[in-house]
Amino acid sequence: MEKDRGLAIFFNDGTKVRFSFPKQITHDELVSGRMDKLLEKKALVVEADGALMVIPFANIKYMQLYAVPPKLPDYVIKDATVDA
């Protein structure tokens, strides 16, 4: 199983955790719907290393996901640059 995707979660308390995982959606046009469904939840749920992790969105400062899917919802700002 190739791990070609990643997620870094940065918490409000300054800690972070990183996950790597294989592609989750086989059809790129489904990404928008899955993203909307995820954002309606109160927690992010990740199965990792034989355990289920439930992470309340209230504890998350921001998340960084990579690689960027080829098709994104129309409300996503694209081709931005982070200015520190």
Q: What is the pLDDT of residue 34?
A: 85
pTM, 2 dp: 0.84
Provide the H-helix boundaries in 13-77: 31-39
Q: Which residue segment(s) compose the domain that 28 sits in?
A: 5-66
pLDDT tens track for 48-63: 999 999 999 999 999 9
- pLDDT, greater one: 80 or 31: 80
What whole-number distance in Å separates Cα of residue 31 and Cα of residue 70?
Answer: 9
Q: Residue 30 belongs to a domain with what CATH number? A: 2.30.30
**Domain annotation covers residue 24:** yes
* Per-residue pLDDT at 45 exceeds 90: yes
Residue 12 lies in a domain: yes
Residue 44 placed within a domain: yes
Q: Stretch 53-75: mean pLDDT, rounded?
A: 91
Between residues 15 and 23, the one the model is more confident about: 15
* Structure token digits, residue 29: 């046009």
Q: What is the pLDDT of residue 12?
A: 98
